[in-house]
Amino acid sequence: MSLLDVVDLRKSFDSHVAVAGLSFDVREGEVLGLLGPNGAGKTTTMSIIAGLLEPDGGELKYQGQAIRPGADALRRGLGVVPQDLAIYPDLTAVENLTFFGRLYGVTGAKLQNRIDWVLERTALTQQAQRPARTFSGGMKRRLNFAIGLLHEPRLVMLDEPTVGVDPQSRAHLLDCVRELRSDGVSVLYASHYMEEVEAVCDRVAIIDHGQLVASGSLDELLAQVRVSIRLRVSRAEEMTLATLRALPMVTDIETQTNGSADTLLILKTSITSSDRARLGEALQQVLQRLADGQVEVLSVTTQDSNLEQLFLELTGRRLRD
Amino acid sequence: MGFLEITRKDLQLLARDRRALVVLVALPMAFIGILGLSTGRLMGWRDDNQLLHLGVVDECRTTLSEQLEERLQGMDGLNVRLMASRTEAESLLADRELTALIVIGPEFNNRSSGIKPREVFESGSSRLKFSLSDVDVTVTCRPSAAMARTVVDQLVLFATLMTVLPDSARKAEVQSRVRSLLTGEDQDAPPSGTASNDDAATDAKTDSPAGPETSSAKPANEGSPVYQTLVPSYTVMFAFFLVNVMARSFIAERELGTLKRLRMAPVTSVDLLLGKTLPFLVISLIQSSVLFLFGRLLFGMSWGEQPWLLIPIVLCTSLAATGMGLLIATLVRTDSQVSAYANFVVITLAGISGCFMPREWLPEAMQTISLATPHAWALMAYDEALSGGVPGTALIVKSCLTLTGFAVGFFVLGCLRFRTAD
């Protein structure tokens, strides 16, 4: 069941279109990855959901009901962890948490319990009484994260939560996201780090230029990636390449010599990674053509499919461009 | 009640920034102290440098001429030296040890004996037709003391008239008419009580044209004139100086990213802005209270006949100041803008309204223009509350209502700006 539906969301800043009819949904208890390069519209989308920006058009539905962006019910159900740190450096971790907890109406013993819980989850219990300005970058990130969880939100929005974070803190934050999922909390995880999205997300929505370009479970998306066959050969004459291009499943061939005697051929195919049978058949045909041309094959590999490849295929550019 | 949480948090942060708190109170105190010492004489203090040094040569040597000498010696603001010879006096004048030289000529007594009050003024008007030369009195000033010349001429003329006129009752009439000529007061106003007293003619201080303004005897509720002006003026100016601190607090909140977090929380814009404003209202009230307290304890200022009237004025001034602070905080985006715009606005408004000098010193047009500033209303209210007599509550109520109007206006504009810009 959908907790949040984003329907045909649109937002422009003067002539720049930031979000152009974006639609996706976040289901109960899942981690949805919002994957896209910088400037794709992830932060704008989250800002609209959080009530920071007025959309030009489109609709939000929370628990199946249409809701105005920034409506009180939505705000109370949302835990937002902004991309940039948003903590008071002169307050201690506990004071930061107490302030934001009270702002969300959490008070008394419940507030104390929640503070203890988030401090433990983010491994900040030992630093609870220290001013945040004395924290390392990673600890500040974790406090930033803890504040977003304090009021028991049903949906946590994480906007690039690991930018500038050391590997240890990154691993810790990703563990926290998994724990949230196991607690039944929905998470909208925006990132341009493919590895993180692959590591924690159940489903992924890939966006570019403010539009959804693909969505689905990780397996579903990866199954769409077209396989490339990489062959290291003794020589690559034009006649040989022409015979390979003539194969129906080959869409393009790239050659790399790197100054050595042998040549690397990258055969881009129309075969998706899910179609293993066709891939085997295609490989046999390629090897046969090379043998016919008396070209010695030194090595054969197929490239692992990943979201980076998929994004490249779908948009023609890399995630980190 | 989210605004209370924001207020509590901001007070917590402000309490930790003790240096800023000290500056907010110590800076105005230092200003008041330094300006009191340096400009005090402009507002009523007198020291030796401020006196007019007159040399008097009596070439008549009669009882009447001696009475004139005594009268001049008794006048406030004059240091009169009786000189034996004109040559000696001219030498001192040339050496700049005297501001002016007054010579009572040998014909003074003879020419003065027949003077009648009706001969002093042109018939049917207050215009003087009497001059010092009529009674053989001459005034010579240093060429570089042109401004002093006017004052000396008037004082000597007044002293001479009061000496040569025969009847004390008529003197009172003349005194009143001369004062109206010299000060521009309504000549129909009754003469002062001191002047109507027969014996008062011998009291040169009360007879002087400056009259009660220069009298050294102060009413019981009248404090040091310098600090009666400086303390409220700088209290008002520094109340509005909080605009800077407020604007910087907003900028800090933006730079820390916490403003976004606050806006994502379930609190309304009004709650948020109220929460950000209240701590500075508290600071402003504390600042103003401390300044008035120290004004009384350190500088001997008076809180007026009805000190409780200061409470609504302080409150309404602080409301207007924090309202303006909120509006400016929503307008500026960077520290540079705070330095440029906020300081410009604060200093300009303080200058226009009369925080830097008594409002009555401002040109009339400027006094009218200044009514567009909250500062001016605050200063008028303070002036009324702190004046020697019983304060007029009508002006104070009107000023407080106007200040509250400013506060509400600024707050509403700030809210509108915050909603559209942030």
**Residues B329-333: what's their mean pLDDT?**
88
CA distances (Å), origin A67, targets A49, A63, A71:
10, 9, 7
Query: Does the pLDDT of residue B395 top 90, yes or no?
Result: no
Confidence of residue B218 (pLDDT cuts 50, 70, 90): very low
Query: Does the pLDDT of residue B61 top 50, yes or no?
Result: yes
CATH for the B48-214 domain, from 2.60.40, 1.20.120, 1.10.3470, 3.40.1710: 3.40.1710
**Residues B184-211: what's their mean pLDDT?**
38
Which residues on chain B are in Cβ contact (under 8 Å) with A104? 265-266
Give the residue from chain B lying closest to A90, CA to CA.
Answer: B13
**Residue B403 CB: number of other CB atoms within 10 A?**
25
Asked if B245 and B280 count as a contact pair (C-beta separation under 8 A), the reply is yes
- d(CA B169, CA B177) in angstroms, rounded, equals 13
Return the pLDDT at B194. Answer: 35
Give the residue from chain A lying closest to B17, CA to CA.
Answer: A90
* B270 interface with A at CB cutoff 8 Å: no
Return the pLDDT at B124. Answer: 60
Burial class (CB in 10 A: 0-12, 13-18, 19+), B12: middle
* B319 interface with A at CB cutoff 8 Å: no
CA terminus-to-terminus distance, chain B: 22
**pTM above 0.95?**
no
CA distances (Å), origin B117, targets B9, B109, B128, B191:
76, 17, 11, 16
Give the residue from chain B lying closest to A53, CA to CA.
Answer: B422
Which residues, in sequence order, are CB contacts of A157 under 8 Å at separation 6+?
Answer: A46, A49, A50, A78, A79, A80, A81, A148, A187, A188, A190
CATH for the A2-222 domain, from 3.40.50.300, 3.40.1790.10, 3.20.20.210, 1.10.579.10: 3.40.50.300
Confidence of residue B297 (pLDDT cuts 50, 70, 90): confident
Describe the crossing of helices B225-256 and B310-331 by its angle, rounded to 10 degrees.
30
Q: Which regions of chain A carry the CATH code 3.30.70.260?
A: 226-304
Interface of A with B in 76-105 (CB under 8 A): 76, 78, 80, 82, 84-91, 95, 99-100, 102-105
Helix (H, G, I), strand (E, B) or coil at B10: helix
Cross-strand partners of B57: B83, B103
Confidence of residue B407 (pLDDT cuts 50, 70, 90): very high
Cross-strand partners of A253: A267
Asked if B258 and A86 count as a contact pair (C-beta separation under 8 A), the reply is yes
For A143-186, the DSSP string reads: HHHHHHHTT--SEEEEESTTTT--HHHHHHHHHHHHHHHHTT-E
Return the pLDDT at B186. Answer: 43
Confidence of residue B201 (pLDDT cuts 50, 70, 90): very low
Return the pLDDT at B131. Answer: 82
Whether residues B13 and A90 touch (CB distance < 8 A) is answered with: yes
- d(CA B298, CA B292) in angstroms, rounded, equals 10
Of the candidates A72, A82, A85, the beta carbon closest to that of B266 is on A72
Whether residues A80 and B261 touch (CB distance < 8 A) is answered with: yes
Return the pLDDT at B225. Answer: 62
Interface of A with B in 154-213 (CB under 8 A): none
- d(CA B266, CA A153) in angstroms, rounded, equals 12
* A128 interface with B at CB cutoff 8 Å: no
Return the pLDDT at B210. Answer: 36
Asked if A59 and A66 count as a contact pair (C-beta separation under 8 A), the reply is yes
- Pick out chain A residues at pLDDT < 70: 259, 304, 319-321
Q: Specify the higher pLDDT residue, B157 or B32.
A: B157
Q: Which regions of chain A carry the CATH code 3.40.50.300?
A: 2-222
Token digits of residue A149:
């969880």
- d(CA A100, CA A172) in angstroms, rounded, equals 22
Phi, psi for residue A255 in degrees, rounded to 5 = -120, 140
Helix (H, G, I), strand (E, B) or coil at B208: coil
CATH for the A226-304 domain, from 3.30.365.10, 3.10.580.10, 3.30.70.260, 1.20.1250.20: 3.30.70.260
Q: What is the mean pLDDT of chain B?
A: 78
Return the pLDDT at B202. Answer: 34
Whether residues A86 and B266 touch (CB distance < 8 A) is answered with: no
* B419 interface with A at CB cutoff 8 Å: no
Asked if B313 and B378 count as a contact pair (C-beta separation under 8 A), the reply is yes
Q: Which regions of chain B carry the CATH code 3.40.1710?
A: 48-214
Query: Does the pLDDT of residue B38 top 70, yes or no?
Result: no
Of the candidates B9, B16, B260, the beta carbon closest to that of A86 is on B260
Confidence of residue B215 (pLDDT cuts 50, 70, 90): very low
Share of chain B above pLDDT 90, in %: 21
Return the pLDDT at B298. Answer: 78
Cross-strand partners of A226: A272
- d(CA B278, CA B289) in angstroms, rounded, equals 17
Which residues, in sequence order, are CB contacts of B171 under 8 Å at separation 6+?
Answer: B162, B165, B195, B201
Q: Specify the higher pLDDT residue, B222 or A302.
A: A302
- pLDDT, one tens digit per residue, over B240-273 is 888 888 888 889 999 999 999 999 999 998 999 9
Choosing among B7, B258, B263, which should be mutated to test the A contact, i.e. which has the most A CBs within 10 A? Answer: B258
Min Cα–Cα distance to chain B from A221, Å: 33
Asked if A284 and A319 count as a contact pair (C-beta separation under 8 A), the reply is no
For B57-92, letters b (16+ CB in 10 Å) and e give bbebeeebbebbbebbbbbbebebeebeeeeebbeb
Give the residue from chain A lying closest to B249, CA to CA.
Answer: A88
Which residues, in sequence order, are CB contacts of A321 under 8 Å at separation 6+?
Answer: A37
Nearest Cα to Cα of residue B263 among A75, A60, A66, A10:
A75
Whether residues B16 and A90 touch (CB distance < 8 A) is answered with: yes
Return the pLDDT at A32. Answer: 95
Return the pLDDT at B43. Answer: 53
